[in-house]
């Protein structure tokens, strides 16, 4: 290792320590102290590849390969808060990605089933979560449009990529009083983040904010 590389790595480590001392930011929209505390427990740099770790604490999405991203931290907090998770909840996550959102969910509920269409991402996320001691997560390589029927119904469902329409299978897999948070809309355009709540077998839809997510990919890889 040459001197220039060593200095760069030490500078990066100092930056990470500085950011973590004030992490997460005090976003005025995030009022759930439980969500804030949990986000402070998981080092985001462990969920991104080396070229991007210096930006791990920037409030922006970062590439994780295969055309996918780790979501902007504020959006992770915002969507998690919208789920109103309780300790006994069973949660379905559609789009494991890096596993960062998965880790946050698993720290706030009883169990997470997470579905990922890209086998390589699923395998890497599984290793990260095991290294962090998360025992209440099962990751499945499957088509997110179909949810995960073997584990249904779910108290909460979160989708971390955007379909053009809400997949009917996900609505069907909501438990009574269940909550679904999902971005919907065309790729590369403003999308709407929806909260869908199930009351007395009826679905209530509330628009939360405008977002931009990568598209939800159909079909499980062989």
Query: What is the set of active-site residues?
Result: 71
Of residues 120 and 220, which shows the higher confidence score? 120
Q: Tell me 96's DSSP state.
A: -
Closest by CA to 26, choosing from 74, 85, 71, is: 74
Stated length of the chain:
222
**Above 60 in pLDDT, residue 212?**
yes
In this prediction, residue 15 carries a pLDDT of: 52
Of residues 209 and 49, which shows the higher confidence score? 209
Average pLDDT, the chain: 90
Structure tokens at 191: 């999308």
Query: What torsion, rounded to 10 degrees, do the Cα atoms 71, 73, 75, 76 define?
Result: 80
Rounded Cα distance between 184 and 66, Å, is 21
Percent of the chain with pLDDT over 70: 89
pLDDT in tens, 126-135: 999 999 999 9
**Under a CB-based contact definition with an 8 Å cutoff, are residues 28 and 81 in contact?**
no
What pTM does this model have?
0.89
Q: How many CB atoms lie within 10 A of CB 209?
A: 14
In this prediction, residue 221 carries a pLDDT of: 46
In this prediction, residue 26 carries a pLDDT of: 80
Place 94 in a pLDDT band, splitting at 50, 70 and 90.
Answer: very high
Alpha helices in 31-185 (DSSP H): 33-39, 73-83, 100-106, 119-131, 168-172
pLDDT in tens, 9-63: 555 555 555 555 567 778 899 999 999 999 988 889 999 988 888 888 889 999 9
In this prediction, residue 2 carries a pLDDT of: 58
pLDDT in tens, 142-165: 999 999 999 999 999 999 999 999
Rounded Cα distance between 52 and 38, Å, is 22
**Above 90 in pLDDT, residue 187?**
no
The domain locations on the chain are 3-211
For the domain covering 3-211, report its CATH number. 3.40.50.150
**Under a CB-based contact definition with an 8 Å cutoff, are residues 160 and 102 in contact?**
no
């Amino acid at each position: 290792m040459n001197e220039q590389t060593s200095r760069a790595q030490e500078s990066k480590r100092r930056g990470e320590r500085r950011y973590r001392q004030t992490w997460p930011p005090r976003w005025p929209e995030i009022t759930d102290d439980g969500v804030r505390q949990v986000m402070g427990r998981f080092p985001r740099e462990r969920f991104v590849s080396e070229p991007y770790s210096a930006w791990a604490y920037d409030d922006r999405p970062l590439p994780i390969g295969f055309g996918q991203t780790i979501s902007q931290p504020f959006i992770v907090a915002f969507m998690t808060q919208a789920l109103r998770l309780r300790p006994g909840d069973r949660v379905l996550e559609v789009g494991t990605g890096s596993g960062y959102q998965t880790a946050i969910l698993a720290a706030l509920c009883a169990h997470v089933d997470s579905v990922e269409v890209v086998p390589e991402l699923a395998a890497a996320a599984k290793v990260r979560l095991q290294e962090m001691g998360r025992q209440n997560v099962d990751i499945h390589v499957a088509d997110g449009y179909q949810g995960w029927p073997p584990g249904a119904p779910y108290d909460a469902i979160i989708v971390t990529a955007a379909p053009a329409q809400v997949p009917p299978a996900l609505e069907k897999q909501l438990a009574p009083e269940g909550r679904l948070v999902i971005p919907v809309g065309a790729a590369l355009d403003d999308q709407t983040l929806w909260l869908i709540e199930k009351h007395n077998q009826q679905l209530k839809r509330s628009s939360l904010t405008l977002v931009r997510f990568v598209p939800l990919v159909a079909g499980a890889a062989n």
